[in-house]
Structure 1
């Protein structure tokens, strides 16, 4: 009886998902720590510098999400190929190679877009001075986009192949690199020139390049990963695989851009409300985004776990993997919401001095924004994981439509109405964020619940040829 309980499919799926999601979520949180280092250093340059950098990062973040969306299609493809066990080495290599092609090609296009950052900010009504400072910052930090896109592909590759801990270790390494770079280049330490905001942007670019190098070293020194020869015959095109990746990846990109655009758009709205409101929004959003990295990591793990079973044609295992991931995510976001409600000033103190009189207005506003963030933690987590499980069954087009409807028609419209035309101001903008995330969560969860009715999974389970959980 004890052995039967230990090997229960639900329990095995729970263990496998946690083994995969744990390192990915931790890596995501560490990545946020990398970004937080930038905010911490820039915040000490003053509110003007913080406001300018937040606007620049808002644009870069949306562009980066678009890149990660297209190249992120490699996750369900690799997972399904491993699940089928059909020429997995060759098929996985083809998918990874085409994802790297897209990372390089689209990354260069993204750099070109970012060079128009100042013009974009002026068109949205930002002040000329803030726009000029931010425009220069974005031109420098855009150089990090290509290595960041490449790193995202390599991170997905090692995770799908059962080495998610590599992502954790490498991201931890990048924290040290970024902290050292900011320390040296922002304020002119270690014999380097004091470059201010430009120094922070250069530190981010250096960190991205070091991250790619670390993944290359890890892949070449791991026996299981090395056998895929992921960098072999890099010049050889696989046009069918590239088209397949674009077919899956472009809707994912649209989904991520819609979500990222919602938050970036909120930053621009805050810029219209006021400079202090924008600075408070930046701090509060950093905190909310940090907490979001756990359900986001669970969603990434769910894409891989569901993708394994989708490739194997196991209908029951697909359902089990999806619901287990959603349950794990709900458990965590409940705890993070409580923390935001009970100790908001303690959390904010990690970013700014809450006792300084000069920061009083900023802290008061950030506390209000965190109250709203605590409320939408549940729906934010659900929508992230539901999107992840749907990607596992290679369903990306309708979720993209849901994202646009939820985030923009419901969310952003509410933010504009409440933020610019009512006394709620910044709080109204955050209420709009909550509305958008909640609508998306309900629609995505409904699509997952009725996945059989929509023809997203096999009509019945088929036998699998190997224990998929061994790769978790």
Structure 2
């Protein structure tokens, strides 16, 4: 990563970082897509089991990964300070933390998974698929969490293409393993939807192996000696990661669990409404990969500039990223609204589902703009390592505005399921406004231009 001087150079750098991150995110998203699509081709009960398994796993994974992704802003600031030994120490102890977190998740799964699935009252076949899908996925927890630490380190260096290449190589492996294990090809057992969990776990091990190989063999990664020698566990470094990472992880968890909760609440509606909502949400989630990718790039560049003491540049990057995300959200939202019937028909051939999905997609325009603003404002704050107030803002927005407003509008007005979309949009808009306000506050009072070095 290097210093930039003009708005054009800053925009170019964000795009250079952004595009590989976006492709990486889409590649990871495609694994869930392949699991869902191929399980649906196998049997509807397997599709339901995989969907339930994914709804349990996603909030847990995203929340805990949020903790480990704190390595990115911390390492970026250390790189900006040119403190390489501290970068190495943070990454090494991040890997230790990833192992500890993975162990906790596995133990919690052993103790709680059966009671949790039992409490959901799902039918036996779906219960069995969800359980075995998550059991298979658990084999990949260690490599997945370790990869997130190493990915954060690579991103902090401003090198995002290599991760993209690794994920692109992993996609065909995931697709082939899904085919083999779900349908029982080439002498392997026919596992149905549960095979998707095992296929994804195998893919995670491949991704980790390739990432370690890159860090060991290629510059500039090998310079940091991530896997050479050890001072033992440094609890102060783990504490530094947790101090930033826990609020980050909780914010991510509250957002994803809030969406999962809406899915559960919608179960009281008819099958057409549930199918249409899931289809619309899947489309929105796909488009969300763009602002979330911008946010990852934004955390790195802001953290780097803050570490280098160039606070004016950090501020410029912050607002450039926010405006870029909102503009792209506006464009993609308009495209989705304009082609909503064609997009909806990709998910279902039933006229009622297509009609209702296309109706829900009208809300996607306002939803996306609000979501883009809040996720990038939060990312810029992470670059400043300012996460505690952001955590409180997101907690209030998601659980005291999104859900209550959506529930009231959906159940006590004539809006029906539309009420949840309005509630989600209102909460995300409030989050975006207050997070942007917090960003302005810290830029003015904690990181003023006066303390900046030469730009």
What is the TM-score normalised by the length of structure 1? Answer: 0.89
Shift in alpha-carbon separation, 1:411–1:122, aligned structure 2, 3 A:
farther
Residue 447 in structure 1 maps to residue 438 in structure 2? yes
Measured after TM superposition, the shift of residue 382 of structure 1 is 0.9
Residue 215 in structure 1 maps to residue 211 in structure 2? yes
Identify unmatched segments of 5+ residues in structure 2. none
Q: Give the CA RMSD over aligned residues.
A: 2.2
CA contact (8 A) 1:309 1:315 kept: yes
SS in 2 for 1:193: coil
Shift in alpha-carbon separation, 1:232–1:279, aligned structure 2, 3 A:
farther
Measured after TM superposition, the shift of residue 124 of structure 1 is 5.3
Shift in alpha-carbon separation, 1:461–1:25, aligned structure 2, 3 A:
farther
CA contact (8 A) 2:47 2:193 kept: no
Measured after TM superposition, the shift of residue 117 of structure 1 is 3.4
Residues 39-50 of structure 1: pairs in structure 2 closer than 5 A: 39-50=36-47
Provide the residue aligned with 1:113 in structure 2: 108
Shift in alpha-carbon separation, 1:52–1:365, aligned structure 2, 3 A:
farther
Shift in alpha-carbon separation, 1:102–1:275, aligned structure 2, 3 A:
farther
- Higher mean alpha-carbon deviation, 265-274 vs 239-248, is at 265-274
What is the TM-score normalised by the length of structure 2? Answer: 0.92
Provide the residue aligned with 1:27 in structure 2: 24
Identify unmatched segments of 5+ residues in structure 1. 1-6, 468-472
2:220 maps to which of 219, 224, 234 = 224
Measured after TM superposition, the shift of residue 275 of structure 1 is 4.5
CA contact (8 A) 1:393 1:456 kept: no
Provide the residue aligned with 2:11 in structure 1: 14
Provide the residue aligned with 1:193 in structure 2: 189
CA contact (8 A) 1:70 1:252 kept: yes
Deviations 1:155-193 (A, max 9, x none): 111121132001211111221111111111111233322
Query: 2:400, 2:120 → 1: CA distance?
Result: 19
Query: 1:410, 1:12 → 2: CA distance?
Result: 39
Residue 388 in structure 1 maps to residue 384 in structure 2? no
SS in 2 for 1:316: helix
Measured after TM superposition, the shift of residue 34 of structure 1 is 2.1
Query: 1:37, 1:199 → 2: CA distance?
Result: 11
Corresponding residue pairs, total: 451
CA contact (8 A) 2:216 2:227 kept: no
Query: 1:107, 1:277 → 2: CA distance?
Result: 36
CA contact (8 A) 1:124 1:268 kept: no
CA contact (8 A) 1:303 1:391 kept: yes
Residue 146 in structure 1 maps to residue 136 in structure 2? no
2:33 maps to which of 33, 36, 41 = 36
Measured after TM superposition, the shift of residue 367 of structure 1 is 2.3
SS in 2 for 1:44: helix
Query: 1:127, 1:364 → 2: CA distance?
Result: 29
Provide the residue aligned with 1:3 in structure 2: none
Deviations 1:428-470 (A, max 9, x none): 33332222211211111111122235x4425623326xx9xxx
SS in 2 for 1:460: helix
